Structure 1
């Protein structure tokens, strides 16, 4: 089932100014329900801009972006914040947790903003906390726990709204290798349970945990790889070779 459809998306910063920058030239792609997609590309390729537009944090200059039947380009400002809370989950590199709130209240925050009843919040958090192994952390504060634990709190905050799509921007960037692997295995489990995930990453290793890798270069979808029946090591090798070929301009190696 098609969940997200992007047609000819373009984003120009400082339009019609001397310092005009075309971050996205012509992006078209489809995301199926249950996909786990990694978006890769060199710095400045437009991958974070694409994620921010899907997140309704930025508006595209032109094109169409439809999530589960809703045209995001037509949403008014007030509706965009509500749409984000109710349909999207976010996981950031720096966690974006509030140290003045307990971990539980950080997780509850999007539900509080949507005026969900407290009894419903408690009902939702129990299975999520058990799945993520954070039950004993709920009454503590973010400054009292490790980076890996903070990221699991952030994952819980993303999941608790039952989002149609989770958007993760360099989610392993602030984690060591052990916690990175744990988080990515968690993503795989969540995805196997039906959650759709789009993840921006510069790491070929992180991307190898996904089902599909989309490479963006010069503001367009330049290349795609599918995990298919490959082992993770085989997929990692393909991703690394493609990333190197794109970086060096040796496109004969892409297939």
Structure 2
């Protein structure tokens, strides 16, 4: 079942100016429930802009996005904030944790804002804390823990709302190789449990954990590949070949 559908998305900045910048030109794709999709491309290709539009943090200037049967264009600012809390989870490169809250409070914040019951919050937290191996740091503060631990706290905050769609923007960008692998293993595990994930990344290693990879160039989807039954190593080689072709404008190689 399709959970996310983008049709002919455009995003133009300085739309009233003659030299306005077209960040997204004509982006169309679907994401099915339970998929794990990576979006790749060079800096400035429009990846983060696209993610922000899906997240209702920015508005498209053309096209239509349907998420969980909701047309995002029809949401008011107030309802967009509520929709984000109820249907979306976010993991960012720079963690976006509040240093004035301890780690447990950071994780529970979306549920507090949504006025969930204390027993429900405790049950969800206990399950995630065990799965993400963060039980021993819940009472500490973000400034007291490592980058890898911060990202697992951020992942717990994103997952505790049981979102329809988990959005990840360069989630491994600030992590070393050990913590990168640890986070990607978590993502793969929650995806196997049914969590739908859409991840923007520069990393072929990160994308190799996904089931499908979209390549964006000059504000358009240029190419896509599927992992299928390939090993991660074989799929990563295919991703790297696609990135090379993308940088060289080699459409013939992309189609091979």
Tell me what 2:96 maps to.
Answer: 96
Say whether residues 1:37 and 2:37 are aligned partners: yes
1:113 is displaced (CA, Å) by: 1.2
Q: Separation in 2 of the partners of 1:12 and 1:179?
A: 36
Tell me what 1:106 maps to.
Answer: 106
Q: Secondary structure at the match of 2:66?
A: strand
TM alignment of 1:56-95, pairs within 5 A: 56-95=56-95
1:86 is displaced (CA, Å) by: 0.6
Q: Separation in 1 of the partners of 2:237 and 2:214?
A: 15
Say whether residues 1:145 and 2:145 are aligned partners: yes
Query: How high is the TM-score relative to the length of structure 1?
Result: 0.98
Q: Separation in 2 of the partners of 1:54 and 1:68?
A: 12
TM alignment of 1:98-137, pairs within 5 A: 98-137=98-137
Moved over 4 A (4+): none
Tell me what 1:176 maps to.
Answer: 176
Query: How high is the TM-score relative to the length of structure 2?
Result: 0.98
Say whether residues 1:205 and 2:205 are aligned partners: yes
Cα deviation digits, residues 53-83 of structure 1 (max 9, x gap): 0000000001110011000011011000000
Cα deviation digits, residues 150-193 of structure 1 (max 9, x gap): 10000000011010000000000000011001111110001000
Tell me what 2:249 maps to.
Answer: 249
Q: Would you say how many aligned residue pairs link Structure 1 and Structure 2?
A: 255
Cα deviation digits, residues 120-153 of structure 1 (max 9, x gap): 2112111111111111111111111111011000
Uncovered stretches (5+) of structure 2, i.e. residues with no partner: none
1:119 is displaced (CA, Å) by: 2.2
Say whether residues 1:186 and 2:179 are aligned partners: no
